[in-house]
Each structure stands twice: as C-alpha cells, then as structure tokens.
Amino acid sequence: MAKGFTINGTVYDARNPLIIAELGTGHGADGDKARELIDAAAGAGADCVKVQMVYADEILHPNTGEVLLPGGRIRLYDTFKRLEVDTRFYDDMKTYTEKRGLLFLCTPFGPKSAAELAALKPAVLKIASPELNYTSLLRQVASYKLPVLLSSGVSMLADIETALEFFAAVDVCLLHCVTAYPAPERDYNLRLLGTLGAVFGVAVGVSDHSLDSTLVPALAVATGAAAIEKHFCLSRDDPGLDDPIALPPTEFKRMSAAVRRAAGMEAIAVIEELSRERGRELVETVLGDGVKRLAPSEQANYERTNRSLHALRDIAEGEVIRADMVGVLRTEKVLRPGLPPSWEDRITGRRARSFIPAGEGIRLEDI
C-alpha cells in the first residue's frame, strides 16, 4: 500500500482517497455563486473544495498581455485584478465549506496571499505546479507546519526533489499533473505514481486536467493515488477561467463513484475491468511505463509556465538592481523567462549590463 496523507487526523490513501473539487476562480468573486458551487460539490461526492487566492501582481506582469486559456485569449492580468476580493470572502467560503462537512483548500500565489491564507487557519494548503520552483514561497508555506498538497506539472525529478526539501518537516502529498488544458488521457503515465512514491517517500495523487470523468481517476487509485483533484463547475458554459475543461456536477458525481469503487477493489481488478470496457491498448497507454519525463502535451511549457525573475519596471543599462524592481512571476509563455527564483537575493545590488524592459525576464547576461 502506498504511503498515506493525514489531514485533521484522517488518513487518505488509495483505500480512502481524498476527492478534491477544484473551483479555482469559478465563483467569479460572487459569494452566492461560491456557496452554490460548494453545495453542488458536496452533492457530487467531493471531500474537499479548492479555490485560489488571487492577487494579480503576485502572479504576472501587466505586460504579459493576452494569454491563451481554455475559453480563448484574454488579458489575464486584468481578469485577475477583477477577481481580487477581501480576505473575508475566503473566510466566509471556509466557514461555509466546513459547515457542509468538507475540507477547505486554497492555493496562495505569493507572500501576501500565503500570509492571509495562513491567518484563516486552514487544515491544509496547496502549491500549484507553476509555483513548484518558487523557493521563497515554498519556504514561507513550509513555515506554517501544515499538510501540503504539491502539484508537479511540467517538472523533472530534480525540480520535485528541490521543492520537497522545503517540506521535510510536514506531511506532503505530491500530485502528479500534466500541465495542458485539457490534458490528453494518454499522456498521464500513471505508473509514475509508484515511482514518485518510492523515490521520495511521500504520498502521491493526481491532479487531472483530462476531459474524461473516470478513466484517469480510477486508474490513478489503482496505481496508489491518495488524492484525486478535478476541476469542477456548474456548467461548462459558465464564464470561469477553467470551466470549459471542468466537470459539471453529474460528471463529477460519476467520477466520485468510480473513485470510491476503485478504492474498494484490488488494483489488478480495476485495470482488468477498465481494459474490457475501454480497451487494453488505451488503458496500458494511460498507465505508461512509470519513467518520469515531460508529457508530450507539456514539453513546450517547460521553463515557460513556471516562475522566474522579471523586471517590474524598465531597468536602464548601468542601473543598480534593487529588490523592489524584481518580481517572481509567470511568463505565461508570452514574456521571456528569466533566472530561476532561487537567484532572487543574488541579483540585488548588481548593475544591469543592458536595458531590461518592464515585464521581461532578467537573464544572467543582463546583469
């Protein structure tokens, strides 16, 4: 049996997997919509609802411009600004979620949101895949001594190892993820869960961005998943950023039932049943070989969707770089990447060798 993951005294493992409904920002900063989503998630079999505490300036630069998302191209910075709400909004969500008997889970994206989230005293925290290399954020979140779910999309083994070093003193569930929207089921390589669990000695799970409601989740349980995360919406026609790839309540309920059923079966029985229903070739492709590599659908995103050091304003040639000129931001595959976040303190006090435009990554050759 794969290692378990404990939250509030409850152990989650492949026999009792944590089912997470990822609401993201689908509430649209509307409290009534948030409560409607929570009610629907509870009715669809979720154990936990997850949201994102968004402050635009913690995530990307205004010069990022338009970003391609599942619903089309939008000015993501402007959208994030409209989604910024007072911390009381999340406090109310947490209270209502727990009233419904579910766990409240939230993702911070920078020091401000992490501190505000910690002040709400959640039972568990989540780090999203693009922040896997955000070293100062990992250090801050680890200091809260809370259980952590850590997504590992668009990463290599060395990236995961570095991130996990920050959480040696806390309970961690490492979520295998394919960072593509939607992600092809055939890219999941679910035997990797056993590899990750053995290599790192932590609980493992899956953050599933595929459109199929049951195939990846059920096979993930058969390969040792202690947690299954899936985007959730009221309707795929809703305007949430991730709603076009999310599961509406009926499909999420089907997923929950499939996960619970798989959790009560032997792994080989799950695989054999799905092979009969869906075809052995498909099932074997989804299971993969267990070797950690970038999935085909995310290869082009490596070092393009995670964090790097960016100029917050124009930096003139010869100007001394101060801490307030530098942000740890996502490129969103639009801006050029800069040095990794671990260089954050090392570039302060250095002079710019050439002009660095606002928003662009600060490279080694720029200092």
What are the residues whose beta carbons fall under 8 Å from the beta carbon of 236, sequence distance 6 or more? 243, 244, 245, 246, 248
- Angle (CA) 300-61-129 rounded to 5° is 45
**SS3 state of residue 220:** helix
Q: What is the DSSP letter of 327?
A: E
Q: What's the pLDDT score for residue 356? A: 98
User: Cα(195)–Cα(217) distance, rounded to whole angstroms?
Assistant: 18
Tokens 């999941």 map to which residue?
A: 188
Q: Which residues pair with 48 in a beta bridge?
A: 20, 103
Measured CA to CA, the distance from residue 206 to residue 185 in angstroms comes to: 12
Residue pair 218/262 in contact by the 8 Å Cβ criterion: yes
Backbone angles phi and psi of 58, in degrees to 5: -85, -10
Q: Are 286 and 219 in contact (CB under 8 A)?
A: yes
Which pTM was predicted? Answer: 0.97
CA distance 292 to 308: 23
Per-residue pLDDT for the chain (367 aa), expressed as one digit of tens each? 578 999 999 999 999 999 999 999 999 999 999 999 999 999 999 999 999 999 999 999 999 999 888 888 999 999 999 999 999 999 999 999 999 999 999 999 999 999 999 999 999 999 999 999 999 999 999 999 999 999 999 999 999 999 999 999 999 999 999 999 999 999 999 999 999 999 999 999 999 999 999 999 999 999 999 999 999 999 999 999 999 999 999 999 999 999 999 999 999 999 999 999 999 999 999 999 999 999 999 998 888 889 999 999 999 999 999 999 999 999 988 899 999 999 999 999 999 999 999 999 999 999 9
By the 8 A CB rule, do 311 and 356 touch? Answer: yes
Residue 151, both tokens: 């997504």
Beta strands in the chain (DSSP E): 5-7, 10-12, 18-24, 48-52, 66-69, 72-75, 103-107, 125-127, 148-151, 172-177, 203-208, 227-231, 307-311, 326-330
Cα–Cα distances (Å) from 229 to 62, 187, 205, 323, 358, in that order, read: 30, 17, 8, 36, 36
Cα separation values, 312 from 58, 64, 316, 326, Å: 11, 12, 12, 5
> DSSP characters for 136-197?
HHHHHHHTT---EEEE-TT--HHHHHHHHGGGTTS-EEEEEE--SSSPPGGG--TTHHHHHH
Distance, in Å, from the CA atom of 347 to the CA atom of 362, rounded to the nearest integer, reads 9
Closest by Cα among 343, 333, 275 to 309: 343
Q: At which residue do the structure tokens 């997923």 appear?
A: 255
| Helix, strand or coil, per DSSP, at residue 256 | helix
Residue 1 is predicted with a pLDDT of 59
Name which of 137, 58, 130, 62 is nearest 313 in CA terms: 62
Strand order, beta sheet including 103-107? 103-107, 48-52, 18-24, 227-231, 203-208, 172-177, 148-151, 125-127
CA–CA separation, 279 and 214 (whole Å): 14
Burial class, 183, CB count within 10 angstroms (exposed 0-12 / middle 13-18 / buried 19+): buried
